Amino acid sequence: MSNIKKEIPYKIYLEESEMPKEWYNVRADMKNKPAPLLNPKTYQPMTEAELGQIFCEELVKQELDTTTPFIEIPEEIRNFYKMYRPSPLVRAYCLEEKLQTPAKIYYKFEGNNTSGSHKLNSAIAQAYYAKEQGLKGVTTETGAGQWGTALSMACAYLGLDCQVYMVKCSYEQKPFRREVMRTYGAAVTPSPSDTTEVGRKILREHPGTSGSLGCAISEAVERAVQQEGYRYVLGSVLNQVLLHQTVIGLETKTALEKYDIQPDIIIGCAGGGSNLGGLISPFVGEKLRGEKDYQIIAVEPASCPSLTRGKFAYDFCDTGMVTPLQKMYTLGNNFIPSANHAGGLRYHGMSSILSQLYHDGLMEARAVEQTSVFEAAEQFARIEGILPAPESAHAIRVALDEAIRCKETGEEKTIVFGLTGTGYFDMYAYEKFNNGQMTDYIPTEKDLEQGFAGIPRFPGNEF
Amino acid sequence: MSNIKKEIPYKIYLEESEMPKEWYNVRADMKNKPAPLLNPKTYQPMTEAELGQIFCEELVKQELDTTTPFIEIPEEIRNFYKMYRPSPLVRAYCLEEKLQTPAKIYYKFEGNNTSGSHKLNSAIAQAYYAKEQGLKGVTTETGAGQWGTALSMACAYLGLDCQVYMVKCSYEQKPFRREVMRTYGAAVTPSPSDTTEVGRKILREHPGTSGSLGCAISEAVERAVQQEGYRYVLGSVLNQVLLHQTVIGLETKTALEKYDIQPDIIIGCAGGGSNLGGLISPFVGEKLRGEKDYQIIAVEPASCPSLTRGKFAYDFCDTGMVTPLQKMYTLGNNFIPSANHAGGLRYHGMSSILSQLYHDGLMEARAVEQTSVFEAAEQFARIEGILPAPESAHAIRVALDEAIRCKETGEEKTIVFGLTGTGYFDMYAYEKFNNGQMTDYIPTEKDLEQGFAGIPRFPGNEF
């Protein structure tokens, strides 16, 4: 550490020349690699050829690569990144002052693009490889709409067709998200729909259903396989997605190093795990290589506590049980958070990279209740100006808790957290909170047992 | 111009040390000063004391100051600016490539803050001076909600009470804007309301009314005067607002100079004029002092063409006729754009500074139709990634037209335009466009005559 301290600005921006030219593949430094995806029929690892029927070739390679530490970011993707990146690493001076804490608080803000979140980092990569392969288009599902928006933007830029299956209740409740995607030229279909076999089947069996992410995934996968020149893409959970998201962590690390800042605690929210994995990978790499140590905290909703209360087991990635099996912390593929949950991060499982790291003690996890999350969101918005996405506010909650703890102990810890996005399309949840109508729910042991019952049983999948 | 050209990045950010420390008061360099505000009863210039009953003392001084060229930005405001500024000056490399134009296109992007626009630049200044004066709070009106949001944010930061009268139809149609304001602690009242005399009167006379900006202004002014320790604030039109918004132009100028860029054309959209005035002031200053020349273009909607078809005359700033008289290009205070107008910039008049500059030939104006504006918005969003506010897209329209003209003529002009904000809360307008339901309307001469009939007649106000 240099003796002459540079004055740290409110926002640290990198120069274009300092932006990452390679993604970092943390699996290369992991002694215990994440377990491979399994074919749900044979229980054998999915081959490149099998995965290639659903995903783009180059993305399959990235999915399966556990040894190459750095993977080049193609120039066209780097140029696209330059349109909305580098994202700022913000010193939360105002927050520190209001809290009267000796802690130093930083956040990496990924919300300054029209998709409103970090999702665009992987969307452009996945769309790029689809185009390179000469495909006509891609299919995907979207729940809240962040991923669908990001993919629409990437496809519009590259001139690729984009078909989005949007969970029907979101399609109806969030017409503005839908219109953003349509403005970017995407075809948005409410799911379940009559455009797929699985959709028609569900409509027959449950005529009044408002859809689910699991059903939308199944429709998107079917539609990709049905059409010549199409593949399916996914916005989180997969290794390839975490790989692309390491631009977040790499930029953060470079920005910190520019000002000789040593973080003590790194915090991120965790749903499927893409943002957290991307943020922490380069830091975890240092831990794995024995170079440095950090306290790393994954924050999840108490109503969907996959890391803190789930099982480490093979499970389906979707509730429709059409995807390969993935070893991960899971609440069971049919687990759905209680109806009063409005805070996002509703995914039943967790990326296998993060699951393995957590299992190996390289990071810890905390579950927080949504009213306390929205309290943190409101406080942060009023002091730091940015209205956060409910998902991001999970990380804010724990960052505030840690900063307040520092005030009590007098410790001058340096806290870095990921602010993944903005809440501009989540105002229905804020409205609930503003009206005092938000409640909490913690699943009972019985709720969890019901979820666990859905995890497939087969030899080697003991939990 | 230096011989060694520096490579220009996608986004030019200033260092904190390069951010403006003073606002620039273009009136100091104007030979023909904008005409003073008049008392509508006496037709005499409004005095400091008269204005001080409605506005904060320091803001009244700024409103009346036509001679001081630079006015210091207080440190607390500069620190707030550092949270969301400097805004980037973006080189639209992707747009240039797609258009295959030899023109160089830049835009100053003001949308990366939760208010979604440049409005925050003046909101924090006005809230700051209210607090310095020891006031308890401020009142204002909002239509679409950008200004109300910005003011709520500024008041939350400073711990000031914020009362917003929101035009009733907006209050009902844009519940998310309302919730953002509430999240920042503002009290939002649909206007007309029963909290003011003028509101009760209008409700009695027009029980089913969905409100108007004019009525909301009247209510906000009445409420400010009614309550001890409150003043009224306004988000555009006034000289003070243009003054605060010069941070946009000053940052733009510094960023251009860093890379030896000489703009030929500067373009901005114009409603009340705050963003355009802020962007162009430093450049107009150079024109006024005879140092440089630029082509400056104000862009307005063809359905609300105050500059291109209005009268240069004294008129009320509101449709309720409670404000002082201002000399400006106006369509008449009771002019309302046709019902099919969804593109924003609906104000009947224009800031008196800009009106005088236009009258003196220092800038030109163009009126564009809204379908062509949304076409430009969609094209821009798909290529440059940012979904623009409909208002901002007026500037995009003319920037595209000029870039295409350069392609035809082979001229390598440098175009700079103001991208004032994002369209995330304007998706109802985009939906209309996406569904092919958007239409245009150009007011007939008869429509205009009806508006002009509302302009007050008195000796000296010939038009």
User: Who has greater pLDDT, A319 or B407?
Assistant: B407
Interface residue of A105, A172, A179 to substitute, partner B, most B CBs within 10 Å:
A179
Same domain flag for A242 and A226: no
Tell me if B183 and A13 make a contact (CB, 8 A cut-off): no
Backbone Cα Rg of chain B: 21
Tell me if B182 and A434 make a contact (CB, 8 A cut-off): yes
Please report whether residue B261 resides in a domain.
yes
Q: Are A245 and A277 in contact (CB under 8 A)?
A: yes
Of A153, A383, A434, the CB nearest to B385: A153
Residue B436: closest CA among chain A residues belongs to which residue?
Answer: A183
CATH assignment at residue A289 = 3.40.50.1100
Q: What is the pLDDT of residue B162?
A: 98
The nearest CA of chain A is from the CA of B54 a distance in Å of 27
Tell me if A425 and B424 make a contact (CB, 8 A cut-off): yes
Of B178, B200, B232, the last residue of a domain is: B232
Residue B120: closest CA among chain A residues belongs to which residue?
Answer: A385
Cis peptide before B192 (omega within 30 of 0): yes
The nearest CA of chain B is from the CA of A235 a distance in Å of 18
Q: What is the pLDDT of residue A3?
A: 47
Q: What is the token pair recorded at A76?
A: 């066209």
Please report whether residue B11 resides in a domain.
no
User: How far out from the chain centre does Cα B217 lie?
Assistant: 16
The nearest CA of chain B is from the CA of A250 a distance in Å of 19
Same domain flag for B251 and B382: yes
Please report whether residue A26 resides in a domain.
no
User: Averaged over A416-431, what is the pLDDT?
Assistant: 95
Same domain flag for B223 and B324: no
Exposure class string for A384-397: b at 16+ Cβ within 10 A, else e: bbbbbbbbbbbbbb
Residue A433: closest CA among chain B residues belongs to which residue?
Answer: B183
Same domain flag for B100 and B133: no
Same domain flag for A147 and A250: no
- In the stretch 123-162 of chain B, residues with CB closer than 8 A to chain A read 153, 156-157
Q: Is B387 on the interface with A (CB under 8 A)?
A: yes
The nearest CA of chain B is from the CA of A363 a distance in Å of 31
The nearest CA of chain B is from the CA of A157 a distance in Å of 6
Measured between alpha carbons, how far is B26 from B9 in angstroms, rounded to an integer? 30
The nearest CA of chain B is from the CA of A385 a distance in Å of 7
User: Who has greater pLDDT, B206 or A62?
Assistant: A62
Same domain flag for A191 and A266: no
Q: Is B57 on the interface with A (CB under 8 A)?
A: no
Residue A319 pLDDT > 80: no
Q: Which chain A residues contact residue B184 at CB under 8 A?
A: 381-382
Same domain flag for B312 and B289: yes
The tally of domains found in chain B comes to 2
Q: Provide the terminal-to-terminal Cα distance of chain A, rounded to the nearest Å.
A: 46
| Cα A463 to Cα A314, A317, A330, distances in angstroms | 9, 17, 11
Q: Is B382 on the interface with A (CB under 8 A)?
A: yes
Residue A164 pLDDT > 80: yes
Q: What is the pLDDT of residue B2?
A: 43
Cis peptide before A337 (omega within 30 of 0): no
Q: Which chain A residues contact residue B157 at CB under 8 A?
A: 94, 382-383, 385
The nearest CA of chain B is from the CA of A211 a distance in Å of 23
Q: What share of chain B is helix, strand, coil (3-state, %, to 5)?
A: 45, 15, 40
Query: What is B153-207 written as a DSSP string?
Result: HHHHHHT-EEEEEEEHHHHHH-HHHHHHHHHTT-EEEEES-TTSHHHHHHHHH-T
Q: Which chain A residues contact residue B175 at CB under 8 A?
A: 427, 431
Measured between alpha carbons, how far is A372 from A381 in angstroms, rounded to an integer? 14
- Provide the 10 A C-beta neighbour count for residue B97: 11
Tell me if A384 and B84 make a contact (CB, 8 A cut-off): no
The nearest CA of chain A is from the CA of B58 a distance in Å of 25
- In the stretch 416-435 of chain A, residues with CB closer than 8 A to chain B read 422, 424-425, 427-428, 430-431, 433-434
User: Averaged over A274-288, what is the pLDDT?
Assistant: 98
Measured between alpha carbons, how far is A291 from A293 in angstroms, rounded to an integer? 7
Same domain flag for A270 and A346: yes
Q: What is the pLDDT of residue A336?
A: 82
For A62, the enclosing helix (H) or strand (E) is helix A57-64
The DSSP call for residue A109 is: E
| pLDDT-based confidence at residue A2 (cuts at 50, 70, 90) | very low
Q: Is A15 on the interface with B (CB under 8 A)?
A: yes
Of A10, A82, A382, the CB nearest to B185: A382
Q: Which chain B residues contact residue A79 at CB under 8 A?
A: 10, 93-94
- Provide the 10 A C-beta neighbour count for residue A41: 7
Of A198, A232, A266, the last residue of a domain is: A232
Measured between alpha carbons, how far is A312 from A35 in angstroms, rounded to an integer? 11
Q: Are B415 and B92 in contact (CB under 8 A)?
A: no
One-letter amino acid of A91: R
Task: Strands of A386-455 (E only): list them.
Answer: 414-419
- Provide the 10 A C-beta neighbour count for residue B226: 12
Please report whether residue B67 resides in a domain.
no
Same domain flag for B228 and B172: yes
The nearest CA of chain B is from the CA of A87 a distance in Å of 11
Q: What angle do CA A414, A418, A424 make, to 5 degrees?
A: 135
Relative to beta strand A364-368, strand A325-330 is unpaired
Residue B311, SS3 per DSSP: strand
Going by C-alpha positions, the residue among B396, B390, B387 that lies closest to residue B418 is: B396
- Provide the 10 A C-beta neighbour count for residue A462: 8
Of A15, A176, A427, the CB nearest to B427: A176
Q: Which of A64-73, A212-221, A438-447 has the lowest mean pLDDT?
A: A212-221
Same domain flag for A175 and A292: no
Q: What is the pLDDT of residue B129?
A: 98
- 10-residue averages of pLDDT along chain B (463 residues): 70 97 98 96 95 95 98 98 97 97 98 96 98 98 93 98 93 90 97 93 88 86 94 94 98 98 98 96 98 98 97 89 91 87 88 98 98 98 97 98 98 98 94 96 96 94 93
Tell me if B180 and A434 make a contact (CB, 8 A cut-off): no
Q: What is the pLDDT of residue B1?
A: 39
Tell me if A384 and B83 make a contact (CB, 8 A cut-off): yes
Of B84, B387, B431, the CB nearest to A175: B431
Of A13, A156, A431, the CB nearest to B179: A431
One-letter amino acid of A171: Y
Please report whether residue A53 resides in a domain.
no
The nearest CA of chain B is from the CA of A9 a distance in Å of 7
Tell me if B385 and A114 make a contact (CB, 8 A cut-off): yes
Of A112, A385, A427, the CB nearest to B179: A427
Tell me if B427 and A185 make a contact (CB, 8 A cut-off): no
Relative to beta strand A104-109, strand A89-91 is antiparallel
Cis peptide before A86 (omega within 30 of 0): yes
Number of H helices, E strands in chain A: 18, 15
Please report whether residue A50 resides in a domain.
no
Q: Is B78 on the interface with A (CB under 8 A)?
A: no
Same domain flag for B291 and B383: yes
Q: Is B441 on the interface with A (CB under 8 A)?
A: no
Q: Is B10 on the interface with A (CB under 8 A)?
A: yes
Going by C-alpha positions, the residue among A341, A340, A427, A343 that lies closest to residue A393 is: A343
- A170-209 pLDDT tens trace: 898 888 999 999 999 999 999 999 999 989 998 998 888 8
Of B9, B382, B431, the CB nearest to A185: B382
Angular region, B250: left φ>0, alpha ψ -120 to 50, beta rest: alpha
Q: Which chain B residues contact residue A83 at CB under 8 A?
A: 10, 90, 94, 384-385
Q: What is the pLDDT of residue B5?
A: 61
Q: Is A264 on the interface with B (CB under 8 A)?
A: no
Exposure class string for A214-252: b at 16+ Cβ within 10 A, else e: bbbbbbbbbbbeeeeebbbbbbbbbbbbbbbbbbbbbbb
Q: Is A21 on the interface with B (CB under 8 A)?
A: no
Tell me if B10 and A83 make a contact (CB, 8 A cut-off): yes
The DSSP call for residue A16 is: G
| pLDDT-based confidence at residue A4 (cuts at 50, 70, 90) | low
Same domain flag for A90 and A125: no
**Which residues on adjacent β-strands are paired with residue A98?**
none
Of B114, B384, B385, the CB nearest to A386: B114
Of B232, B248, B280, the last residue of a domain is: B232
**Which residues on adjacent β-strands are paired with residue B421?**
B117
Q: Provide the terminal-to-terminal Cα distance of chain B, rounded to the nearest Å.
A: 46
Please report whether residue B9 resides in a domain.
no
Q: Is A176 on the interface with B (CB under 8 A)?
A: yes
One-letter amino acid of B15: E
- In the stretch 278-317 of chain A, residues with CB closer than 8 A to chain B read none
| pLDDT-based confidence at residue A263 (cuts at 50, 70, 90) | very high
Q: Which domain range does residue A212 map to?
A: 120-232
For B147, the enclosing helix (H) or strand (E) is helix B146-158
Q: What is the token pair recorded at A443?
A: 């699943």
Tell me if B156 and A184 make a contact (CB, 8 A cut-off): no
Q: What is the token pair recorded at A279?
A: 């943020």
Q: Is B437 on the interface with A (CB under 8 A)?
A: no
Q: What is the token pair recorded at B263?
A: 């703009």
